[in-house]
Structure formats: structure tokens, C-alpha cells
Structure 1
Amino acid sequence: MNNYTNTLSKTYTLCCFIFVVLVYSSCGQTNTFKSEASSKSDKINEIVSLYADYDGFNGSVLVAQEGEIIYKNGFGFAHMEWDISNQTDTKFQIASLTKSFTAMLIMQLVAENKLDLNLPISTYLPDYPKENGNLITIHHLLTHSSGLGRDASDDKKYNQPKDMVNQFANAPLQFQPGEHFKYSNSGYTLLGYIIETISKKPYEEVLKEKIFTPLKMNNSGYFRHQPLIKKMAAGYVKGFGDFFNTIGSDESSAYAAGAIYSTVEDLFLWDQALSTEILLPKKYMDLMFEKHIPDPSYNGHYGYGWELINKPIGNTSETVPTVGHSGSISGFRALYTRIPSINATVIFLNNTNRAFIISMTTAITGILHDKPYDFPKKPLAKFMSKVIKNEGIAKGIKFYKDHKDLDEYYVSETELIVAGYRFLQAGNAAAAAEVFKLSTEVFPDRDNPYDSYAEALKTLGKNKEAIINYKKSLQINPNNTNAIRMLKELGVDYINE
């Protein structure tokens, strides 16, 4: 073999060796990431499942890291009446997460030189009252520093943008524009109206044309309560332990401040686009995420349609910068959180009025950072009710007393009272009385336990004891009109002693 051939052979062998090393190294990194993602997924599933079991979550969740979805799932019911489960493609009203989309549409117009952030809005809305219109800029509206109130003072709901704007256009400003932050749905309603005026198209159409269609967010749209929307979750509120449907509520009047519906999967498409220039050139995108104004309510800052907050990492004392937004509307709760430092995203959509989505996000942030995190505390009243059902009232009450001081459980006056009323409504006044009596012992300085205990006693025909407890309730809260009315039915004209 000549020197050339020998050299060529050695070179080829070396290249093969390097290739094999790189392949195995790459495979090792991929396998490691998949293994870590699987471990994190299991931990996330455990924590979210527990919250769902404890009635703290009813919706859909998605968690991603490094552009990959590491966990997604649905919990509870999209339609409780029919036992239709929440899925990852279930649609939810996202409430104020809408503001981030409205801000994007505004910034797209800025990038197209159709709007100037620092010109007064009267430049674009010549019919808007000049007294305010000459003071407020687009920047003020985007950062909730316009001086406009949170909502229109007129409670009537309108569906036409001009009518919505006219509700507050002539109202005096609450402070000089730019002076400080004060959250304002009215300000984002006004931004929607500006988008329509400049584009000469409805907000809904512009939203679809400039964001939803390019990103293939096919399961997102503008919510109206009358049209049928496939796979749309119903919203629920909870009162005295039972859920009630909010289906009759028309939230389309939330408009550019809160009328979008979406899914966790579609919001992940949105999330991924925010790291690109698909929707907006980088210099304008960066401007959206800039800390423009302090937001005291969150101890953070507000950008253009974004909350910029240092959030806790699990149960440690450490925090991490996040970009996101929360949302709350009748029967729905939402929370979207990006953690840029680890390229991670946590999305929660919930279709009840109560959800521990902040606590779950904190725990998941801990999981993603390989830091310790808290599990949800067990609702003691709920576990007591199970014991009563299986082993009787005496053992249930004992269970509550034995566990009420343990860290793994939490006690709640409301939940204990609800547990009692469940028995009362089921015709078991004796069990209800025992639970209500327990509530007076656990919360002796609250009026509601005595009032509820008195009601159970009255149902059992123990009127003298009922009168004593109604009076105790009134001693704590003289404005308890129900107790006064019940005493009157029992032949007692109560005078606060």
C-alpha cells in the first residue's frame, strides 16, 4: 500500500470513528432528555391529578420544554351534565389572555407604520372626546396606564365596539395618563376599536387573518354565546357544594379585553410563534416583553399585553423571571406562563370559577428546575365526609378532630359547612347537626357555623337549642338577617344584648 492510500485509509477510519462517537453522543443526549422529560411528566401528572382529585382543578393542561410537549392532559368534565370529559382539544374561554393577542395586533399595525405608540389616540379616532383623546396614547392603553377605569361604569352589556367605547369615552380620567399602572379592561376595549378603525375590518376577522390562520390555530376563535362551537366547554360556578351552569352569560362583550376561546394545544402554537418572527419582527417583539411599568398588584411589571413576574420555584426561596398572563371570566380561569431561562411553558385552562392554577404552576416550576415542591393539602372536610359515609357519623367527627392539626390537611369553614348541608339536603338532619356542631367548635368566632347548627336543630324539632345558637350567631354578627327571621318564626323578637 502506498503512502497516499495509507493516509486515505487512516483518514477514512478516523472519520468513521468520529461519526460513530457523534452519533452515540447525540443518541445519549436525546435519550437523557427523553428520560428526564418522562420523569418530569410523571411528577407533573401526579401533582395535577391530586389537585383534580381534591376539586382544585377541572380543565386541560400542557407543559413544554425546549420546544417539546412533555405533558398534556384533560381533567374533569367539559360538560358535567353529560359526563363529557375535558380533553387537550377542549375549547375554553381564555378571558384576559386575550389581551396578549390584542397587543400583538396593535404591534403588527405599528410595524406596518399604521400606528405610532406615542401619538394621542385622537389621531386615529377623530370622534373620540378630545379632552381625553389628546392625552391618551397607544402606549398608555397597552400598559394599563391610561387613567381609564377598569370597566365601563354602565353595567349594560353591548356587543358593538362603538357602543362599548361610548360607555366610558366621556368619563373623567382617574389619573393623568402615564402616571401609574391600573388594570383596565376598558383600555383594551379601546385598543380593539382602534384595530377595527385602522384595519376597516371587525376585530374578530383581523384576529383570524393575522394570527389564527398563519399559526394554524384552528381551534381558537372569538366567543359568542349563541353560535354552536364544537368541543366548547361549559363554564360552571360552585355554590354550597353544587355546580351551576353559566351558559346563559354573554361574554362576547368582553371583546378585545377577554373574548377569545382556545385550547391548550392551540396556545402552544401561539407560544412557539412568540420565539420567532412569523408574526412580528424581533425588535417589535422585544418591545412587547419589555418592562414598561411596575405592576404593584403582582409585584412585577407589565409589558405590552404581558405580565412580567418573578415567580417562585417550587417551595424554595428562589424565583425565576416569567412572561405570561392570567385570565378570569364567569365560569372560567386561565393561566399561561413562559419561563424563558429554561425555554419552558406551562398552560392551564379551567372551566370552573375555582382552580388552584397558580399553586400548580409553582409546583411545576419546581419540577422543571429539579427543585422541591409542595403537594396539595388534603381537604379535611371532604375526607371526613367519606369516613362518615363508610363508617358512620361518630367516626367521621373523630377523624376530623384527630387530623385537623396535621400539616397535610387544610381546614375550611366553608367546606365544613357545605359538608353539613349535603347531609341536611339528603334528609339526614342528625348527621348535619353533628357536622355543624363540630364547625362551631373549630370556628367559635364565626357566625355562620352557629346559624347552620341552629337550622339543623330546628329541623330536628329542637327549637330551644336552635334559639340559643341563632342568638350566638347574632352576637357575633348582628347583621345576620336570616337568624333574626328564623328567631321570629320561633316566636322570639331578638334584641342584641
Structure 2
Amino acid sequence: MKNISIYIILIFLSSCQVSPENPFDEKIVKIDNNLEKISKEDGYSGTVLIAKNEDVLFEKAYGYANLAHQVPNKIDTKFGIASMGKMFTAVAIMQLIEQEKLKLNSKVGETLPDYPNTVVRDSVTVEQLLVHTSGLTDFFNDKFEHRAKHSVRTIADYYSLFGDDNLLFSPGSQFRYSNAGYIVLGMIIERLSGDNYYDYVKKYIFKAAGMENTDNYETDKSIANIAEGYIMKDEHDIWTTSTYMKGARGSSAGGAYSTAEDLLKFALALKNNTLVSEESLSLMNSNKNQNGYGYGFSLNKFNDTEVYGHNGGAHGVSAEIDIYKNLDYVVVTLSNRGALDGWVDVRSMIREELAGSTKETNKYLGTKKLIETYETEGFDAAITKLKTMEGNISDKYLMDTANKYREAKEFDKAIDLLEILATEIPDSWYIFSILADTYLEAGNKEFAIENYHKSLKLDVKNEWAIEKLETLE
């Protein structure tokens, strides 16, 4: 784990001269220099690790694990990893399949015959749950927001937040990222293994891979050497802890904590077939559904380089692992702040240095300039710039920035960015629904109703819009 190449160590000596025989030297130097620039003036808080196979080429920590006590992050600091935990759930499912306790085409009801929702029980398959084509909804909903967070502690507790919801579409017909689907997978793991989910992954994944500093987060317990999550609460640049915004414990949909070095161990255990067979891993990172998501892994292609892994985002959590298939690189970025508080810049910069400029990084950089145009020149200037971009924008980046303003109670700015996004993607029911929510929070009932209607027109099954309109009208 600590086999750091000598030429990389030399990078950190002030007298270092980059060797022309090792072009990767230059990439590491650029990454290091860029990270210093980004982290300067509180621009990034977290850790970065880059390895090739078992050799760690670069690892460094930035910022603070605890702002109140000025405790600095270290390379072995534990960070929340949110949805990255879906990788662990998918590995557990593939282990059970290898043990012939389950099949990819097994219906939910074959393992959970008492599952209350008959449509899910009789028609949704394990594979559909893994690849987010089940039609199941999410548990980050109104029930979650109004439930005491300390009471959300088991897989069953999470199920109770969505179990009565109807499917959004016929299973297998569409792709929609679903945290609820991974809760059902957790229920299947518990039923087939006889262990609760947390004990299973601890025994058969964390311990098997040598991940001594990884476990499922319990927010009301004291955990040594863990970074506190922070969000920018208002326009006065005040950081506040995000712990109160989470459930009391993570789930099969995500919510563990880990370190950069433990996640490298996980990647190596996957590649060395310690956790699953070569055949299973090949299935897991295959893009057979052509939606950029395998079995528990996000799938990317940066120029000619195939990359699999997963990211995780929550309040005060930004994390990702990229496993480069052909180049044998593993990149881990962990932060205890939001995605737009330096982490996206770091992630995008490293990808561009390792694999070259990509459509994704260009979209991010272009969208960043669009937002800067709005912030410096106003709404009309941003709309003018948008028209020149020919659709080359990151809707996620715009949405995340709007949400950041919304959380800071800067509703005018949040609404402007959502209106810009709606101009670019006028057929998205989701954008109009979020826009309506934001107008409602801002106290503008008339515009909230108008946008809920727009959302409902685009998706007549949008139950959230239906419920809101029934209340408002």
C-alpha cells in the first residue's frame, strides 16, 4: 500500500526536476500544483489519492476535519461516502448469486414473499434493482424530512418511507436512479444471509478486503478520526455541521464512512477477485443497458479510457472512486463539504490530467463560466450566453448550484438558475417541480402553482405535484 515510487517522492522536494523519461511525472506535478491552487483560501477540504495498481503515486490531505477545533484532515481521516455504498450492496448481491442463493432474473417475491407491494413483488427483478430500472421511487421524501432522524436506523426503517408508493413506470422500461431500489436489495441480503445488512458487509466485504477504517455511519455515536460534514448555510459564508440532516445510520443505498486508503484496498480486492469472481466483476462494469450504470457501478468513458466506480453526495459529503480499466489507475477523492465547494473542481481537474479533455469536463467548465456570467452580469447575460453553448451544459452542476443558493435562503438566485435550466431543458418535469418548490419556499404561491402545473403537464403521474396542487388550490 505504501510502495510509493521514488520519482514521485521527489516531487515534494523543492529541488525536484521532472524526468522527461516519465511523462506521468508531469501529470502528478500539475495535479499537485492545481490542488494547491484550489485548496488555497479554503477552496477544498478533503483527501486525494492516486495509485497505479498497489503503488500509491500521490496522496495528500487538505483543509479541516473539524473547523471549530481547527483539526486538520489527514490521509487516514474517515469521510462519509454516501451513495458509494451502493458498490458494497452490489458486491454482496453478486456474492449471493455466486453461492447460487439468488439469480439476476429472480423476482423480489421469490426472496421476499411477504413483500407488501404486489406489483414490486411479482414483477421487479434483482437486475432491475441493481441497474435502476425497477420504477421504484426514493426515500428522500416528505416522510423522511418530517421523521425524527434518530428513528431511521435499520433497513426496515428506510423501507417504511417508500413502501406504499406506486411504481413510477413499468419495470425495465426506463432508467431512474433509485435509492429505494437499493433498500430492497438490502432486504434481500438480510433474508438470504441471515445477517443484518451492516454485519454482512462488515464481515464479507470490509474485513475480506482489509478495510479496517470503514463501517456504516451512525451519526449519534462518537467515531474516532472522522471528518465533520459541513455545508454553507447562508450568504455570510458561515459553515455549519450537516450531521442533523442525515438518518441515524447509513443503509444499503449508502451512508458508510471510509478512508482514501481503504477505498484503494476495496478497488484492489475487486481487481484481484477477492470479493467476486472475474466473471461477476465483468458483468458489474458492463454497460449492457446503455445508460452509463452497471451493477452498482457508474460507468464512464474518458476519450478511449473506460472507467468504473461510484460517487457519493449528501449534505457535507462529496466522494468518488474512479477505477481506470486499461491504465490500472485508481483515483479517490473525499471531501467533507458539498460538491460545489471545491470537490467538482478537483475531480474534473484530475480526470482531465489523466485522460485528457472530455465532453464531461468541457460541460462542467462551460457551465461554470455560465454561472459566473450570471453572478457577475445578471440573468439576461446568462441567457444570452446559454444560447451560444449549443446544449453543452451540465444540468447537474446548474441544479446543484441552485440548491446551494436555496439552502442559503437566497431564493432569487436559486430561482434564476432554475429558470435558466428550464430554458435549456423545457421538457423536464423534474426541473419545473423543483422550481415550484423553490417558489413556494420563497413565498410566491402563484408562481409555485404555475410551475407545478407545468410539471404535471409533462408527467401526469407526478404525485408530488398533484399533492401540492390539491393543498394550494
- Please indicate, yes or no, whether the TM-score normalized by the shorter chain is above 0.5: yes
Q: Does structure 1 residue 142 correspond to structure 2 residue 130?
A: yes
Q: What one-letter code is carried by the residue in structure 2 that aligns with 1:276? A: N
Q: What one-letter code is carried by the residue in structure 1 that aligns with 2:354? A: L
The 5-angstrom pairing of residues 245-324 of structure 1 reads 245-295=241-291, 301-311=292-302, 318=303, 320-324=305-309
- 1:168 is aligned to 162
Deviates more, 1:110-119 or 1:318-327: 318-327
Tell me how far apart the structure 2 counterparts of residues 110 and 370 of structure 1 sit (CA, whole Å). Answer: 38
Contact 2:135 2:171 in 1 (8 A): yes
Q: Deviations over 1:438-469 (max 9, x none)?
A: xxxxxxxx977xxxxxxxxxxxxxxxxxxxxx
Contact 2:139 2:158 in 1 (8 A): no
Instruction: Note closer, same or farther for the CA distance 1:268–1:172 as it changes in structure 2 (3 Å cut).
Output: same
- Give 1:80's match in structure 2, choosing from 67, 80, 83: 67
Q: CA deviation at 1:165?
A: 1.7
Tell me how far apart the structure 1 counterparts of residues 107 and 253 of structure 2 sit (CA, whole Å). Answer: 20
- Give 2:121's match in structure 1, choosing from 121, 125, 133: 133
- 2:228 is aligned to 234
Instruction: Note closer, same or farther for the CA distance 1:113–1:248 as it changes in structure 2 (3 Å cut).
Output: same
Q: CA deviation at 1:307?
A: 0.8
Q: CA deviation at 1:344?
A: 1.0
Q: CA deviation at 1:33?
A: 10
Instruction: Note closer, same or farther for the CA distance 1:358–1:310 as it changes in structure 2 (3 Å cut).
Output: farther
Tell me how far apart the structure 2 counterparts of residues 332 and 415 of structure 1 sit (CA, whole Å). Answer: 31
Tell me how far apart the structure 2 counterparts of residues 262 and 414 of structure 1 sit (CA, whole Å). Answer: 39
Tell me how far apart the structure 2 counterparts of residues 138 and 211 of structure 1 sit (CA, whole Å). Answer: 20
Tell me how far apart the structure 2 counterparts of residues 193 and 135 of structure 1 sit (CA, whole Å). Answer: 17
Tell me how far apart the structure 1 counterparts of residues 112 and 253 of structure 2 sit (CA, whole Å). Answer: 19
Q: CA deviation at 1:369?
A: 4.8
Contact 2:321 2:330 in 1 (8 A): yes
Q: Deviations over 1:238-266 (max 9, x none)?
A: 12211111233443454111121000110
Instruction: Give 5+ residue unaligned stretches, structure 1.
Output: 1-30, 296-300, 312-317, 378-406, 417-445, 449-476, 483-497
- Secondary structure in structure 2 of the residue aligned to 1:164: helix
Tell me how far apart the structure 2 counterparts of residues 62 and 193 of structure 1 sit (CA, whole Å). Answer: 33
Tell me how far apart the structure 2 counterparts of residues 128 and 110 of structure 1 sit (CA, whole Å). Answer: 20
Q: Deviations over 1:174-194 (max 9, x none)?
A: 111111110000001111111
Q: CA deviation at 1:32?
A: 7.2
Q: What one-letter code is carried by the residue in structure 2 that aligns with 1:307? A: S
TM-score normalised by structure 1 residue count:
0.65
Contact 1:335 1:349 in 2 (8 A): yes
- 1:190 is aligned to 184
- 1:224 is aligned to 218
Q: What one-letter code is carried by the residue in structure 1 that aligns with 2:137? A: G
Q: What one-letter code is carried by the residue in structure 1 that aligns with 2:346? A: M
Contact 1:128 1:169 in 2 (8 A): no
Q: Deviations over 1:454-494 (max 9, x none)?
A: xxxxxxxxxxxxxxxxxxxxxxx9x9879xxxxxxxxxxxx
Tell me how far apart the structure 1 counterparts of residues 248 and 443 of structure 2 sit (CA, whole Å). Answer: 37
Q: CA deviation at 1:42?
A: 2.1
Q: Which structure has the larger Rg over C-alpha atoms?
A: 1
Q: Does structure 1 residue 413 correspond to structure 2 residue 375?
A: yes
Q: CA deviation at 1:78?
A: 0.4
Instruction: Note closer, same or farther for the CA distance 1:323–1:355 as it changes in structure 2 (3 Å cut).
Output: farther
- Secondary structure in structure 2 of the residue aligned to 1:327: strand
Q: CA deviation at 1:277?
A: 1.4
Contact 1:333 1:352 in 2 (8 A): yes
The 5-angstrom pairing of residues 13-412 of structure 1 reads 35-53=22-40, 55-129=42-116, 130-151=118-139, 153=141, 154-155=143-144, 156=147, 157=149, 158-238=152-232, 239-240=234-235, 241-295=237-291, 301-311=292-302, 318=303, 320-353=305-338, 354-369=340-355
- 1:427 is aligned to none
Instruction: Note closer, same or farther for the CA distance 1:362–1:247 as it changes in structure 2 (3 Å cut).
Output: closer
Contact 2:45 2:63 in 1 (8 A): yes
Deviates more, 1:352-361 or 1:337-346: 352-361
Tell me how far apart the structure 1 counterparts of residues 341 and 192 of structure 2 sit (CA, whole Å). Answer: 38
Contact 1:308 1:324 in 2 (8 A): yes
Q: CA deviation at 1:152?
A: 5.6
TM-score normalised by structure 2 residue count:
0.68
Q: What one-letter code is carried by the residue in structure 1 that aligns with 2:375? A: E
Instruction: Note closer, same or farther for the CA distance 1:481–1:119 as it changes in structure 2 (3 Å cut).
Output: closer
Instruction: Note closer, same or farther for the CA distance 1:232–1:480 as it changes in structure 2 (3 Å cut).
Output: closer
Instruction: Note closer, same or farther for the CA distance 1:410–1:170 as it changes in structure 2 (3 Å cut).
Output: closer
Q: What one-letter code is carried by the residue in structure 2 that aligns with 1:132? A: V
Instruction: Note closer, same or farther for the CA distance 1:166–1:48 as it changes in structure 2 (3 Å cut).
Output: same
Tell me how far apart the structure 2 counterparts of residues 180 and 447 of structure 1 sit (CA, whole Å). Answer: 34
Tell me how far apart the structure 2 counterparts of residues 369 and 71 of structure 1 sit (CA, whole Å). Answer: 17
Q: What one-letter code is carried by the residue in structure 1 that aligns with 2:262? A: D
Instruction: Note closer, same or farther for the CA distance 1:98–1:252 as it changes in structure 2 (3 Å cut).
Output: farther
Tell me how far apart the structure 1 counterparts of residues 121 and 301 of structure 2 sit (CA, whole Å). Answer: 34
The 5-angstrom pairing of residues 419-438 of structure 1 reads none
- Secondary structure in structure 2 of the residue aligned to 1:213: helix
Aligned length: 356
